[in-house]
């Protein structure tokens, strides 16, 4: 006879001293947890609801400019610093953590249209409608400088006057060269009062310029002739040009996949392109109901933020057709510029109402120090939510966003118009000779032609 029964001594399962942690024993047998799938589903539902409860994306507004904000620039070597330029010629450096102006740069006679910071973060380049390019010194440790800006003379390094008004400026990611956009694309060096080279293709104004993050000699521009042009500094002439049906307001390169860029278009959509294959967009990002004014990629390269003339800021996945998030407030007017912060956790928007606004990139993210247990819980909730996101109830909660009435109505109207157009085209196709009206994919039909 062999007998054994379960025998536990309390000492093994309880703590010895009162300041010890409680002992934990685990058994992962599924039979001990009946209906675990249903429990998981309920957790997913609760997580989705909590997401909505904690969705408070707006952190604060940065007040100080006295005219609409036209452009912004991140400091690549300083996370907290952000430059903004306004229509009255004022440039300010903000400390994002305290949301205060650290210093002001005055000198521009007209609107500031472009701002950019050199690679080492020491020199700020600005340009504007007063036909000048100005180079400024960035204060070394921005915390020490007081907010009042008594003398501006020592901050200004140089001021170069040129023939025409400028619309944008961008600095190389690695190097000493910056490019300005205006009547043509000019390439400048820090120390020369005149551009090194100029590129021209057609007679129309160039309105935005961006250097490629991976290849320092390649830049993309967009012009008022509805074109997107790619230049290579190593050759003397522009490389390729793409003409679309509507104007592109701004361009942003994907920092993680530097061959791809996304263009913010006037027709409410954003178009992601592969720079090597311009005849077709990789993805069309729809949702805005008015012209998209500015675009900026997150440093992770997985999402980008757009600001639009419809007074909203939206965040898109780099490969998602519709926006993940929409931000708006009653007081925010038309958004002219947006930036993702250097750590991908904040979004800054500058708008017509003279304020910069600071938003969280994830609306319901918890700020501050998170304990490991807490983080684990967040991760678990995220995983469960992700697992059940296709179920109707969870999906409904996750997708729902409150929209201001005008935007909601405009969205409806746009949809109706698109449907009507499609219907009309279908009918026309049905009544034409077969094959005479081939279907054109949405990724192609806004593109008119590509010129080499």
Partner 1 sequence: MNNTNSIYLTCGCLLWFQDFSDDIDVKVKKYQRGESADLEALKDKKLKGQLANREELYKRSANAAAKAEKWLMQTESGLLEAEGIEKTWRFSQQAIAQEVDIASRKNQFDIVLPDLGPYTIDYTASGRYMLTAGRKGHLAIMDLHTLKPVKDFQVRETVRDAVFLHNELFFAAAQKKYTYIYSREGTELHCLKEHGAVMKLQFLKNHFLLSSINKSGHLHYQDITTGQIVGSYRTALGRSDVLQLNPYNSVIASGHSGGTVTMWKPTSAAPLIKILCHRGPVTAVSFHPNGHLMATSGMDKHIKIWDLRTYKSLQTLPGNAKSLTFSQKGLLAASTGSFTQILEPSSDSMSYNRYMIHQMAKGYQINKILFRPYEDVLGIGHSMGLSSVLVPGSGEPNFDSWVANPYETVKERREKEVRVLLDKLPPEAVMLDPTKVGTVRKERRKERRRKAEVEEEKAAAVAAVKSVVVKKKTKGRSKPSKVARKKQEGVEKVKRGFVSEGGDGGGGGGGDKKKQKRVVEVGDLPVALLPFVSKKGK
Residues near partner 1, by CB under 8 A: 1-10, 13-14, 22-35, 37-43, 46, 387-388, 391, 430-434
State in angstroms the smallest separation of the CB of 43 from partner 1.
6
State in angstroms the smallest separation of the CB of 401 from partner 1.
24
For partner 1, the closer of residues 7 and 153 by Cβ is 7
State in angstroms the smallest separation of the CB of 50 from partner 1.
10
State in angstroms the smallest separation of the CB of 298 from partner 1.
23
356, 349 contact by CB (below 8 A) = yes
User: What does 225-292 look like in DSSP terms, one character per residue?
Assistant: TSEEEEEETTSSS--EEEEESS-EEEEEE-SSSTTEEEEEETTS-EEEEETTBTTS-SEEEB--SS-E
Category of 80 on φ-ψ map: left (φ > 0), alpha (ψ -120 to 50) or beta:
alpha
Between 392-399 and 36-53, two packed helices, what is the crossing angle to 10 degrees? 10
For partner 1, the closer of residues 43 and 99 by Cβ is 43
For partner 1, the closer of residues 10 and 144 by Cβ is 10
How far is residue 97's CA from residue 260's CA, in Å, rounded to a whole number?
A: 32
For partner 1, the closer of residues 366 and 449 by Cβ is 366
State in angstroms the smallest separation of the CB of 440 from partner 1.
22
State in angstroms the smallest separation of the CB of 15 from partner 1.
9
For partner 1, the closer of residues 9 and 141 by Cβ is 9
State in angstroms the smallest separation of the CB of 262 from partner 1.
22
- Angle at CA of residue 415, ends 410 and 420, nearest 5°: 125
For partner 1, the closer of residues 37 and 331 by Cβ is 37
For partner 1, the closer of residues 10 and 66 by Cβ is 10
> What is the three-class DSSP state of 199?
strand
Cβ-Cβ contacts under 8 Å for 306 (sequence gap 6 or more): 264, 270, 285, 288, 292, 294, 295, 313, 314, 315, 316, 338
Residue 137 tokens, joined:
């010194």
């Amino acid at each position: 006879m062999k007998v054994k029964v379960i025998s536990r001594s309390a000492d093994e399962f309880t703590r010895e001293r009162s300041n010890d942690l409680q002992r934990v024993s685990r058994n992962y047998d599924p039979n001990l947890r009946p209906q675990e799938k249903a429990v998981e589903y309920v957790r997913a539902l609760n997580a989705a609801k909590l997401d909505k409860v904690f969705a408070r994306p707006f952190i604060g507004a940065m007040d100080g400019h006295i005219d609409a904000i036209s452009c912004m620039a991140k400091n690549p070597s300083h996370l907290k610093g952000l430059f903004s330029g306004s229509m009255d010629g004022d440039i300010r450096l903000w400390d994002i953590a305290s949301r205060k102006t650290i210093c002001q740069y005055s000198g521009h006679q007209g609107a500031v249209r472009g701002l950019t910071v050199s690679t080492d973060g020491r020199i700020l380049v600005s340009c504007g409608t007063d036909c000048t390019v100005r180079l400024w010194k960035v204060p070394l440790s921005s915390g020490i400088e007081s907010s009042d800006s008594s003398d501006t003379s020592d901050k200004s390094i140089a001021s170069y006057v040129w023939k025409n008004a400028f619309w944008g400026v961008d600095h190389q990611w690695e190097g000493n060269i910056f490019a300005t956009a205006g009547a043509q694309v000019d390439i400048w060096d820090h120390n020369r009062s005149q551009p090194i080279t100029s590129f021209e293709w057609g007679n129309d104004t160039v309105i935005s310029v961006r250097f490629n993050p991976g290849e320092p000699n390649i830049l993309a521009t967009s012009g008022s002739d509805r074109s997107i042009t790619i230049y290579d500094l190593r050759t003397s002439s522009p490389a390729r040009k793409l003409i679309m049906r509507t104007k592109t307001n701004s361009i942003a390169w994907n920092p993680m996949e530097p061959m791809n860029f996304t263009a913010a278009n006037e027709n409410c959509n954003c178009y992601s392109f592969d720079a090597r294959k311009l005849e077709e967009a990789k993805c069309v990002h729809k949702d805005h109901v008015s012209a998209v004014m500015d675009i900026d990629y997150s440093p992770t390269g997985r999402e980008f933020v757009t600001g639009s003339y419809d007074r909203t800021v939206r965040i898109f996945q780099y490969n998602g057709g519709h926006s993940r998030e929409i931000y708006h407030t009653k007081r925010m007017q038309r958004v002219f510029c947006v930036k993702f912060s250097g750590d991908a956790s904040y979004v800054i928007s500058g708008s017509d109402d003279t304020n910069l606004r600071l938003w969280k990139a994830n609306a319901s993210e918890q700020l501050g120090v998170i304990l490991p247990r807490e983080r684990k819980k967040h991760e678990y909730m995220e995983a469960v939510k992700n697992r059940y996101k296709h179920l109707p109830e969870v999906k409904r909660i996750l997708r729902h966003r409150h929209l201001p009435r005008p935007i909601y109505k405009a969205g409806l109207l746009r949809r109706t118009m698109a449907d009507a157009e499609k219907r009309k085209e279908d009918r026309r196709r049905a009544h034409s000779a077969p094959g005479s009206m081939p279907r054109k994919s949405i990724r192609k039909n806004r593109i008119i032609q590509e010129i080499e």
